[in-house]
């Protein structure tokens, strides 16, 4: 069932995770901490190599480091180190890892950070993906070799070139986006168990069909399962507060800051 929490500081949010139809256990993990304004989705990798351990370590570490006053990038970098230490200590198994997408609200402003292909969308007048996958197909899209539509059925669509817990990586390259969440807008975080099963048009249609976060989360997860449910699926929706600023007609471009690491060397 969805986690539907009463408004905290005027912000409404809801979240749900589901094992899906195919997987034996759920390797996804999420965090909602309205006091910190922090929302995180982690999609564990490794199956019997303890992907669920990696995602839980990532979420727990990020939450604690944000409590300690770290930046989002620092918190995610520390999560990578914590997963590697977990392997060494026997907490998990060699080969475990996770993707992560996290957003922290500071009043009307947000900081979004991610590693891998768990996604963030912004809903306002329409749906827009505001993260960019660290994946092979995204690299092919960026270099003009395939289209967005071709990417959905590409045989290597699930190959990512970066995740937390990769032993050969000393420090992950965390992508960062900063912007403003205006009145009536929502941020949607999800694992690829959602985005692989339903396309952006379906996501947009579902989110537009209701103003209630818990109902939208329920409908999104149900749609992903009905469309195959081949993977674990996790969704968080966070809405702007009722007293958030209205979106200006012409938003100042310099107010948005991006640091995307998209194409590997």
Residue ranges of domains in the chain, CATH in brackets = 3-239 (3.60.40.10)
Q: What is the mean pLDDT of residues 259-264?
A: 56
Q: pLDDT band for position 12 (50/70/90)?
A: very high
Q: pLDDT band for position 1 (50/70/90)?
A: very low
d(CA 221, CA 188): 12
Tokens describing residue 216:
């939208």
Position 241 pLDDT exceeds 50: yes
Position 4 pLDDT exceeds 80: no
Q: pLDDT band for position 123 (50/70/90)?
A: very high
Model confidence pLDDT, tens digit, residues 74-105: 999 999 999 999 999 999 899 999 999 999 99
Distances, alpha carbon 152 to alpha carbons 37, 140, 222, 234, in Å: 32, 12, 20, 19
- The answer to whether the beta carbons of residues 161 and 208 sit under 8 Å apart is no
- The answer to whether the beta carbons of residues 160 and 134 sit under 8 Å apart is yes
Q: What is the pTM of this model?
A: 0.91
Supply the DSSP symbol for 135: B
d(CA 233, CA 166): 22
Percent of the chain with pLDDT over 70: 88
User: What's the confidence (pLDDT) of residue 261?
Assistant: 54
- What is the sign, positive or negative, of the torsion defined by CA atoms of 59, 64, 66, 70? negative
End-to-end CA distance of the chain: 42
């Amino acid at each position: 069932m969805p986690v539907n929490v009463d408004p905290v500081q005027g912000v409404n949010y809801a979240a749900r995770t589901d094992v899906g139809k195919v997987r034996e256990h759920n390797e996804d993990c999420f965090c909602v901490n309205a006091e910190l304004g922090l929302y995180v989705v982690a999609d564990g990798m490794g199956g019997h190599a303890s992907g669920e351990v990696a995602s839980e370590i990532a979420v727990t570490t990020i939450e604690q480091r944000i409590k300690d006053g770290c930046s989002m990038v620092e918190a995610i970098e520390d999560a990578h180190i914590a997963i590697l230490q977990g392997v060494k200590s026997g907490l998990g198994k060699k080969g475990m890892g996770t993707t992560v997408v996290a957003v922290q609200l500071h009043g009307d402003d947000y900081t979004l950070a991610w590693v891998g292909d768990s996604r963030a969308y912004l809903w306002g007048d329409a749906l827009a993906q505001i993260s960019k996958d660290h994946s092979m197909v995204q690299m092919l899209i960026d270099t003009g070799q395939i289209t967005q539509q071709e990417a959905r059925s590409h045989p290597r669509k699930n190959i990512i070139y970066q995740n937390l817990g990769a032993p050969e990586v000393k420090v992950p390259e965390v992508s960062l986006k900063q912007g403003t969440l205006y009145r009536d807008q929502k941020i949607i975080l999800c694992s690829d168990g959602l985005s692989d099963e339903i396309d952006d048009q379906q996501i947009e249609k579902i989110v537009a069909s209701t103003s209630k976060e818990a109902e939208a989360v329920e409908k999104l997860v149900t749609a992903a399962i009905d469309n195959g449910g081949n993977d674990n699926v996790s969704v968080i929706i966070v809405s702007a507060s009722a007293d958030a600023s209205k979106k200006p007609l012409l938003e100042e471009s310099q107010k948005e800051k991006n640091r995307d690491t998209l194409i590997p060397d």
